[in-house]
Chains A and B, each alone.
Chain A
Amino acid sequence: MVAKIVTQLQREYLDATREAGIAALQPSVEWLLTFIEPRALFSLVSARNTVDVISALLKSVGSEDVTKDARIVDLLRDTLPIPQPPPLGMPKLARERADHYLARRLAPSTLRSYNLNVERWQVYCRITGYNPLSPLAVEVASFIATFSDRQSYGRVLGVAAALRMFWRAMGCVDATESLEVRNLLAALARRREPPVRARKPYRPLYEEDLRRMLVALCTQ
Protein backbone atom coordinates (compact mmCIF):
# COMPACT_ATOMS: atom_id res chain seq x y z
CA MET A 1 0.00 0.00 0.00
CA VAL A 2 2.72 2.43 1.04
CA ALA A 3 4.83 1.43 -1.90
CA LYS A 4 1.88 1.86 -4.20
CA ILE A 5 1.22 5.40 -3.03
CA VAL A 6 4.88 6.29 -3.24
CA THR A 7 4.94 4.89 -6.75
CA GLN A 8 1.86 6.92 -7.62
CA LEU A 9 3.46 10.10 -6.35
CA GLN A 10 6.64 9.38 -8.27
CA ARG A 11 4.69 8.73 -11.42
CA GLU A 12 2.81 11.98 -11.03
CA TYR A 13 6.05 13.83 -10.53
CA LEU A 14 7.73 12.20 -13.52
CA ASP A 15 4.71 12.85 -15.75
CA ALA A 16 4.66 16.47 -14.67
CA THR A 17 8.36 16.90 -15.44
CA ARG A 18 7.89 15.27 -18.82
CA GLU A 19 5.02 17.59 -19.66
CA ALA A 20 6.97 20.59 -18.49
CA GLY A 21 9.98 19.40 -20.46
CA ILE A 22 12.48 19.66 -17.63
CA ALA A 23 14.97 17.14 -16.28
CA ALA A 24 13.26 15.07 -13.60
CA LEU A 25 16.47 14.62 -11.67
CA GLN A 26 17.56 18.25 -11.72
CA PRO A 27 14.40 20.27 -11.19
CA SER A 28 14.59 23.98 -10.54
CA VAL A 29 13.21 25.31 -7.29
CA GLU A 30 10.76 27.59 -9.12
CA TRP A 31 9.23 24.75 -11.05
CA LEU A 32 9.06 22.59 -7.94
CA LEU A 33 7.13 25.37 -6.21
CA THR A 34 4.60 25.50 -9.04
CA PHE A 35 4.29 21.71 -8.80
CA ILE A 36 3.84 21.60 -5.04
CA GLU A 37 1.75 24.69 -4.39
CA PRO A 38 -1.56 23.34 -5.71
CA ARG A 39 -1.06 20.21 -3.68
CA ALA A 40 -0.34 22.26 -0.61
CA LEU A 41 -3.60 24.12 -1.21
CA PHE A 42 -5.40 20.83 -1.38
CA SER A 43 -3.61 19.17 1.50
CA LEU A 44 -0.41 20.07 3.26
CA VAL A 45 0.20 16.43 4.16
CA SER A 46 -0.07 15.37 0.58
CA ALA A 47 2.36 18.11 -0.43
CA ARG A 48 4.77 17.02 2.21
CA ASN A 49 4.57 13.43 1.06
CA THR A 50 5.27 14.50 -2.47
CA VAL A 51 8.27 16.52 -1.40
CA ASP A 52 9.57 13.56 0.58
CA VAL A 53 9.24 11.29 -2.40
CA ILE A 54 11.01 13.76 -4.68
CA SER A 55 13.72 14.27 -2.10
CA ALA A 56 14.28 10.50 -1.83
CA LEU A 57 14.38 10.22 -5.58
CA LEU A 58 16.97 12.97 -5.95
CA LYS A 59 19.04 11.52 -3.16
CA SER A 60 18.97 8.04 -4.67
CA VAL A 61 20.26 9.36 -7.94
CA GLY A 62 22.85 11.49 -6.24
CA SER A 63 21.79 14.82 -7.60
CA GLU A 64 21.40 17.97 -5.52
CA ASP A 65 18.43 17.91 -3.16
CA VAL A 66 16.64 21.13 -4.06
CA THR A 67 13.68 20.32 -1.82
CA LYS A 68 15.70 21.64 1.11
CA ASP A 69 15.42 25.10 -0.38
CA ALA A 70 14.08 27.72 2.03
CA ARG A 71 11.05 28.57 -0.13
CA ILE A 72 9.82 25.01 -0.20
CA VAL A 73 10.48 24.56 3.50
CA ASP A 74 8.48 27.74 4.13
CA LEU A 75 5.64 26.45 2.07
CA LEU A 76 5.44 23.30 4.11
CA ARG A 77 6.16 24.90 7.47
CA ASP A 78 2.64 24.57 8.70
CA THR A 79 2.66 20.88 8.19
CA LEU A 80 3.26 18.95 11.30
CA PRO A 81 6.09 16.48 11.11
CA ILE A 82 4.59 13.19 10.15
CA PRO A 83 4.19 11.11 13.29
CA GLN A 84 4.36 7.37 13.55
CA PRO A 85 0.83 6.57 12.39
CA PRO A 86 1.14 7.17 8.69
CA PRO A 87 -1.03 9.62 6.81
CA LEU A 88 -1.79 6.97 4.30
CA GLY A 89 -4.66 5.41 6.17
CA MET A 90 -2.96 2.19 7.04
CA PRO A 91 -3.12 0.70 10.49
CA LYS A 92 0.25 0.81 12.19
CA LEU A 93 0.52 -2.91 12.76
CA ALA A 94 -0.35 -3.74 9.19
CA ARG A 95 2.13 -1.18 7.91
CA GLU A 96 4.88 -2.59 10.11
CA ARG A 97 4.07 -6.05 8.93
CA ALA A 98 4.19 -4.92 5.34
CA ASP A 99 7.53 -3.24 5.93
CA HIS A 100 8.76 -6.37 7.64
CA TYR A 101 7.85 -8.57 4.70
CA LEU A 102 9.13 -6.08 2.16
CA ALA A 103 12.46 -5.90 3.91
CA ARG A 104 12.76 -9.66 4.05
CA ARG A 105 11.65 -10.42 0.56
CA LEU A 106 15.24 -10.37 -0.64
CA ALA A 107 18.26 -11.81 1.08
CA PRO A 108 20.75 -9.26 2.44
CA SER A 109 23.36 -10.41 -0.04
CA THR A 110 20.90 -9.97 -2.91
CA LEU A 111 20.04 -6.49 -1.71
CA ARG A 112 23.70 -5.61 -1.50
CA SER A 113 24.28 -6.86 -5.01
CA TYR A 114 21.26 -4.95 -6.31
CA ASN A 115 22.43 -1.75 -4.64
CA LEU A 116 25.86 -2.13 -6.15
CA ASN A 117 24.49 -2.76 -9.62
CA VAL A 118 22.04 0.14 -9.45
CA GLU A 119 24.90 2.34 -8.33
CA ARG A 120 26.87 1.19 -11.36
CA TRP A 121 23.98 2.11 -13.58
CA GLN A 122 23.67 5.53 -12.01
CA VAL A 123 27.36 6.21 -12.38
CA TYR A 124 27.15 5.13 -15.98
CA CYS A 125 24.20 7.46 -16.50
CA ARG A 126 26.02 10.33 -14.89
CA ILE A 127 28.93 9.80 -17.26
CA THR A 128 26.91 9.38 -20.41
CA GLY A 129 24.13 11.78 -19.55
CA TYR A 130 21.36 9.19 -19.82
CA ASN A 131 18.27 9.41 -17.69
CA PRO A 132 18.52 6.59 -15.16
CA LEU A 133 14.77 6.36 -14.68
CA SER A 134 13.49 6.46 -18.21
CA PRO A 135 16.30 5.38 -20.49
CA LEU A 136 15.99 4.16 -24.04
CA ALA A 137 16.29 0.43 -24.55
CA VAL A 138 19.43 1.00 -26.60
CA GLU A 139 21.00 2.89 -23.73
CA VAL A 140 20.32 0.05 -21.33
CA ALA A 141 21.67 -2.42 -23.86
CA SER A 142 24.82 -0.35 -24.23
CA PHE A 143 25.26 -0.32 -20.47
CA ILE A 144 24.86 -4.07 -20.21
CA ALA A 145 27.18 -4.63 -23.14
CA THR A 146 29.79 -2.42 -21.52
CA PHE A 147 29.41 -4.20 -18.24
CA SER A 148 29.49 -7.69 -19.74
CA ASP A 149 33.05 -7.27 -20.94
CA ARG A 150 35.05 -9.91 -19.05
CA GLN A 151 32.14 -10.54 -16.72
CA SER A 152 30.38 -13.82 -16.25
CA TYR A 153 26.89 -14.32 -17.57
CA GLY A 154 25.61 -14.68 -14.02
CA ARG A 155 26.84 -11.22 -13.15
CA VAL A 156 25.23 -9.76 -16.24
CA LEU A 157 21.96 -11.38 -15.22
CA GLY A 158 22.43 -9.88 -11.77
CA VAL A 159 22.70 -6.42 -13.30
CA ALA A 160 19.56 -6.94 -15.36
CA ALA A 161 17.66 -8.16 -12.31
CA ALA A 162 18.83 -5.19 -10.24
CA LEU A 163 17.75 -2.73 -12.91
CA ARG A 164 14.39 -4.43 -13.23
CA MET A 165 13.88 -4.16 -9.49
CA PHE A 166 15.00 -0.54 -9.47
CA TRP A 167 12.62 0.55 -12.20
CA ARG A 168 9.72 -1.35 -10.75
CA ALA A 169 10.33 0.20 -7.35
CA MET A 170 10.48 3.64 -8.91
CA GLY A 171 7.35 3.01 -10.95
CA CYS A 172 9.12 3.37 -14.26
CA VAL A 173 8.96 1.37 -17.45
CA ASP A 174 11.06 -1.76 -17.22
CA ALA A 175 13.56 -1.39 -20.05
CA THR A 176 15.00 -4.87 -19.56
CA GLU A 177 11.86 -6.25 -21.15
CA SER A 178 12.64 -4.50 -24.39
CA LEU A 179 13.62 -6.50 -27.42
CA GLU A 180 17.10 -4.99 -27.57
CA VAL A 181 18.01 -5.96 -24.02
CA ARG A 182 16.49 -9.40 -24.30
CA ASN A 183 18.37 -10.07 -27.53
CA LEU A 184 21.58 -8.88 -25.95
CA LEU A 185 21.11 -11.16 -22.95
CA ALA A 186 20.38 -14.10 -25.23
CA ALA A 187 23.55 -13.37 -27.19
CA LEU A 188 25.56 -13.17 -24.00
CA ALA A 189 24.09 -16.47 -22.84
CA ARG A 190 25.23 -18.05 -26.08
CA ARG A 191 28.66 -16.54 -25.64
CA ARG A 192 28.94 -18.21 -22.27
CA GLU A 193 31.58 -20.90 -22.23
CA PRO A 194 31.63 -23.95 -20.02
CA PRO A 195 33.46 -23.13 -16.80
CA VAL A 196 37.08 -24.20 -16.76
CA ARG A 197 38.10 -25.99 -13.66
CA ALA A 198 41.09 -24.17 -12.34
CA ARG A 199 42.86 -27.01 -10.66
CA LYS A 200 46.29 -26.88 -9.28
CA PRO A 201 48.32 -29.42 -11.22
CA TYR A 202 50.01 -32.23 -9.39
CA ARG A 203 53.61 -31.46 -8.88
CA PRO A 204 56.28 -34.14 -9.12
CA LEU A 205 57.73 -35.28 -5.82
CA TYR A 206 61.37 -36.19 -5.96
CA GLU A 207 63.64 -38.08 -3.65
CA GLU A 208 64.56 -34.82 -1.88
CA ASP A 209 60.90 -34.35 -0.98
CA LEU A 210 60.69 -37.88 0.35
CA ARG A 211 63.83 -37.20 2.32
CA ARG A 212 62.33 -34.09 3.85
CA MET A 213 59.22 -36.01 4.83
CA LEU A 214 61.19 -38.80 6.42
CA VAL A 215 63.40 -36.37 8.30
CA ALA A 216 60.31 -34.62 9.62
CA LEU A 217 58.97 -38.03 10.64
CA CYS A 218 62.16 -38.92 12.49
CA THR A 219 62.31 -35.65 14.37
CA GLN A 220 58.70 -35.78 15.56
Chain B
Amino acid sequence: MHAVNIRNGVILTLTYFLKLQVHELRALQVDDVRRDAAGYLVHIGSVERYLGPSRDPIVDPVRWLDVWRHVLSVQAPWYPHGALLPKFDETRVWLPRPLSPVSFFGIYDDAARAAGLDVRSPGVALQKGFVIASVERYGALLTARFVRYRRMDSLAAHVPEIRQQATLIRELNRGRPQYGKITT
Protein backbone atom coordinates (compact mmCIF):
# COMPACT_ATOMS: atom_id res chain seq x y z
CA MET B 1 0.00 0.00 0.00
CA HIS B 2 1.46 3.29 -1.03
CA ALA B 3 1.74 6.29 1.23
CA VAL B 4 -0.68 8.15 -1.03
CA ASN B 5 -3.44 5.70 -0.21
CA ILE B 6 -2.76 5.95 3.50
CA ARG B 7 -2.91 9.70 3.33
CA ASN B 8 -6.19 9.49 1.41
CA GLY B 9 -7.58 7.15 4.03
CA VAL B 10 -6.68 9.71 6.70
CA ILE B 11 -8.42 12.40 4.70
CA LEU B 12 -11.58 10.32 4.37
CA THR B 13 -11.74 9.32 8.01
CA LEU B 14 -11.05 12.84 9.24
CA THR B 15 -13.72 14.14 6.91
CA TYR B 16 -16.18 11.62 8.20
CA PHE B 17 -15.52 11.69 11.92
CA LEU B 18 -14.66 15.33 12.46
CA LYS B 19 -16.81 16.60 9.57
CA LEU B 20 -13.90 18.75 8.54
CA GLN B 21 -14.13 21.01 5.56
CA VAL B 22 -11.47 21.27 2.93
CA HIS B 23 -9.90 24.46 4.23
CA GLU B 24 -9.67 22.94 7.70
CA LEU B 25 -8.01 19.80 6.36
CA ARG B 26 -5.53 21.91 4.42
CA ALA B 27 -4.65 23.95 7.48
CA LEU B 28 -3.88 20.89 9.61
CA GLN B 29 -0.24 20.73 10.64
CA VAL B 30 1.68 17.76 11.97
CA ASP B 31 1.82 19.44 15.36
CA ASP B 32 -1.92 19.92 15.43
CA VAL B 33 -2.60 16.26 16.22
CA ARG B 34 -1.54 15.02 19.64
CA ARG B 35 -1.77 11.39 20.66
CA ASP B 36 -3.77 10.63 23.75
CA ALA B 37 -4.12 7.32 25.57
CA ALA B 38 -7.15 6.37 23.51
CA GLY B 39 -7.28 8.80 20.62
CA TYR B 40 -6.13 12.11 19.30
CA LEU B 41 -6.58 15.72 20.27
CA VAL B 42 -6.93 17.65 17.08
CA HIS B 43 -6.51 21.42 16.96
CA ILE B 44 -8.64 23.00 14.35
CA GLY B 45 -8.04 26.70 14.40
CA SER B 46 -8.65 27.75 17.96
CA VAL B 47 -10.80 24.73 18.76
CA GLU B 48 -9.61 21.42 20.15
CA ARG B 49 -11.55 18.37 19.09
CA TYR B 50 -11.23 14.85 20.36
CA LEU B 51 -10.94 12.04 17.85
CA GLY B 52 -11.84 8.77 19.49
CA PRO B 53 -11.32 5.22 18.24
CA SER B 54 -13.95 3.34 16.33
CA ARG B 55 -15.01 -0.26 16.87
CA ASP B 56 -14.50 -1.17 13.26
CA PRO B 57 -10.73 -1.41 12.64
CA ILE B 58 -11.06 -0.49 8.98
CA VAL B 59 -12.74 2.83 9.57
CA ASP B 60 -10.92 3.53 12.85
CA PRO B 61 -9.50 7.05 12.38
CA VAL B 62 -7.02 6.61 15.21
CA ARG B 63 -5.46 3.65 13.47
CA TRP B 64 -5.26 5.50 10.20
CA LEU B 65 -3.61 8.47 11.86
CA ASP B 66 -1.18 6.21 13.72
CA VAL B 67 -0.11 4.51 10.52
CA TRP B 68 0.17 7.80 8.71
CA ARG B 69 2.32 9.38 11.41
CA HIS B 70 4.51 6.30 11.37
CA VAL B 71 4.90 6.58 7.62
CA LEU B 72 5.77 10.23 8.00
CA SER B 73 8.42 9.53 10.62
CA VAL B 74 9.98 6.66 8.67
CA GLN B 75 9.79 7.90 5.12
CA ALA B 76 10.29 11.56 5.80
CA PRO B 77 12.21 12.17 8.97
CA TRP B 78 13.16 15.52 7.51
CA TYR B 79 9.52 16.46 7.66
CA PRO B 80 8.82 17.05 11.34
CA HIS B 81 6.65 20.12 10.94
CA GLY B 82 4.45 21.19 8.15
CA ALA B 83 1.25 20.11 6.54
CA LEU B 84 -0.19 16.92 7.96
CA LEU B 85 -1.54 16.02 4.53
CA PRO B 86 1.22 16.86 2.07
CA LYS B 87 1.12 16.83 -1.65
CA PHE B 88 2.42 14.09 -3.90
CA ASP B 89 3.53 14.76 -7.41
CA GLU B 90 2.73 12.60 -10.45
CA THR B 91 5.55 10.17 -9.71
CA ARG B 92 4.27 9.81 -6.16
CA VAL B 93 7.17 11.70 -4.68
CA TRP B 94 5.91 13.92 -1.97
CA LEU B 95 6.35 17.60 -1.70
CA PRO B 96 6.38 19.55 1.57
CA ARG B 97 3.31 21.51 0.59
CA PRO B 98 -0.33 21.19 1.55
CA LEU B 99 -2.75 19.72 -0.96
CA SER B 100 -4.66 22.07 -3.16
CA PRO B 101 -8.40 22.28 -2.50
CA VAL B 102 -9.12 20.77 -5.89
CA SER B 103 -7.08 17.68 -5.15
CA PHE B 104 -9.25 16.99 -2.14
CA PHE B 105 -12.27 16.78 -4.35
CA GLY B 106 -10.32 14.54 -6.70
CA ILE B 107 -9.59 12.23 -3.80
CA TYR B 108 -13.25 12.13 -2.80
CA ASP B 109 -14.19 11.49 -6.41
CA ASP B 110 -11.82 8.58 -6.77
CA ALA B 111 -12.86 7.03 -3.49
CA ALA B 112 -16.56 7.26 -4.28
CA ARG B 113 -16.04 5.87 -7.74
CA ALA B 114 -13.88 3.02 -6.50
CA ALA B 115 -16.56 2.12 -3.95
CA GLY B 116 -19.25 2.31 -6.60
CA LEU B 117 -21.27 4.92 -4.72
CA ASP B 118 -24.03 6.68 -6.57
CA VAL B 119 -23.51 10.28 -5.54
CA ARG B 120 -23.98 13.48 -7.42
CA SER B 121 -20.67 15.29 -8.08
CA PRO B 122 -18.90 13.05 -5.55
CA GLY B 123 -16.29 15.58 -4.50
CA VAL B 124 -18.81 17.93 -3.00
CA ALA B 125 -21.47 15.35 -2.25
CA LEU B 126 -19.21 13.32 -0.04
CA GLN B 127 -18.84 15.99 2.60
CA LYS B 128 -22.48 16.95 2.36
CA GLY B 129 -23.41 13.29 2.56
CA PHE B 130 -21.41 12.83 5.74
CA VAL B 131 -23.06 15.89 7.21
CA ILE B 132 -26.52 14.70 6.27
CA ALA B 133 -25.85 11.32 7.85
CA SER B 134 -24.72 13.13 10.98
CA VAL B 135 -27.88 15.22 11.00
CA GLU B 136 -29.91 12.04 10.80
CA ARG B 137 -28.05 10.56 13.71
CA TYR B 138 -27.35 13.44 16.08
CA GLY B 139 -29.85 16.07 15.02
CA ALA B 140 -29.30 19.40 13.38
CA LEU B 141 -28.21 21.49 16.32
CA LEU B 142 -25.58 19.05 17.51
CA THR B 143 -24.24 18.60 14.01
CA ALA B 144 -24.09 22.30 13.40
CA ARG B 145 -22.18 22.76 16.63
CA PHE B 146 -19.89 19.88 15.79
CA VAL B 147 -19.34 20.80 12.19
CA ARG B 148 -18.76 24.42 13.08
CA TYR B 149 -20.67 25.72 10.17
CA ARG B 150 -20.39 29.43 10.51
CA ARG B 151 -24.00 29.82 9.60
CA MET B 152 -26.56 27.17 9.78
CA ASP B 153 -28.02 28.47 6.54
CA SER B 154 -25.22 26.87 4.58
CA LEU B 155 -26.05 23.57 6.20
CA ALA B 156 -29.75 24.08 5.64
CA ALA B 157 -29.10 24.58 1.96
CA HIS B 158 -28.30 20.89 1.75
CA VAL B 159 -30.51 19.49 4.48
CA PRO B 160 -34.05 20.70 3.86
CA GLU B 161 -35.26 19.26 7.16
CA ILE B 162 -33.44 21.83 9.24
CA ARG B 163 -34.49 24.93 7.35
CA GLN B 164 -36.94 25.85 10.07
CA GLN B 165 -34.27 25.78 12.75
CA ALA B 166 -31.93 27.76 10.55
CA THR B 167 -34.60 30.40 10.13
CA LEU B 168 -35.16 30.46 13.88
CA ILE B 169 -31.48 31.03 14.56
CA ARG B 170 -31.33 33.74 11.95
CA GLU B 171 -34.21 35.45 13.70
CA LEU B 172 -32.48 35.14 17.06
CA ASN B 173 -29.31 36.64 15.68
CA ARG B 174 -31.05 39.61 14.17
CA GLY B 175 -29.87 42.78 15.85
CA ARG B 176 -27.38 41.08 18.10
CA PRO B 177 -23.85 42.34 18.25
CA GLN B 178 -21.32 40.19 16.46
CA TYR B 179 -19.69 38.79 19.60
CA GLY B 180 -22.96 37.51 20.98
CA LYS B 181 -23.86 35.62 17.89
CA ILE B 182 -25.39 32.19 18.19
CA THR B 183 -23.37 30.24 15.75
CA THR B 184 -24.91 26.82 16.08
B21 CB–A CB distance under 8 Å:
no
If A199-B120, A206-B133, A220-B5 touch, does A213 touch B115 (CB 8 Å cutoff)?
yes
Residues of B within 8 A of A210 (CB): 12-13, 16, 59, 130
Determine if B129 and A216 form an interchain contact, defined as CB atoms under 8 angstroms apart: no
Residues of A within 8 A of B59 (CB): 207, 210-211, 214
In the complex, which of the residues A199, A204, A212, A214 contacts B129, with contact meaning CB atoms closer than 8 Å?
A204
Question: In the complex, A216→B116 CA distance in Å?
Answer: 9
If A200-B120, A202-B158, A213-B111 touch, does A218 touch B133 (CB 8 Å cutoff)?
no
Q: Is the interface of A mostly helix, strand, loop or mixed?
A: helix
Determine if A203 and B112 form an interchain contact, defined as CB atoms under 8 angstroms apart: no
Determine if A205 and B56 form an interchain contact, defined as CB atoms under 8 angstroms apart: no
- Category for how many chain B residues contact A: 20 to 34
Residues of B within 8 A of A218 (CB): 1, 5, 9, 58
Question: In the complex, A214→B8 CA distance in Å?
Answer: 9
Binding site for A on B (CB under 8 A): 1, 5, 8-9, 12-13, 16, 54, 56, 58-59, 111-112, 114-120, 125-126, 128-130, 132-133, 135-136, 158
In addition to A210-B12, A216-B114, 18 A-B residue pairs with Cβ atoms within 8 Å of each other are: A199-B120, A200-B120, A202-B120, A202-B125, A203-B118, A203-B125, A204-B129, A204-B135, A205-B125, A207-B59, A209-B129, A211-B56, A213-B12, A213-B111, A215-B115, A216-B115, A217-B114, A218-B5
Instruction: Write 17 A-B pairs (CB below 8 A) sorted by A numbering.
Output: A199-B120, A202-B158, A203-B132, A204-B135, A204-B136, A205-B117, A205-B126, A209-B129, A210-B13, A210-B59, A213-B12, A214-B9, A214-B13, A215-B115, A216-B111, A217-B111, A220-B5
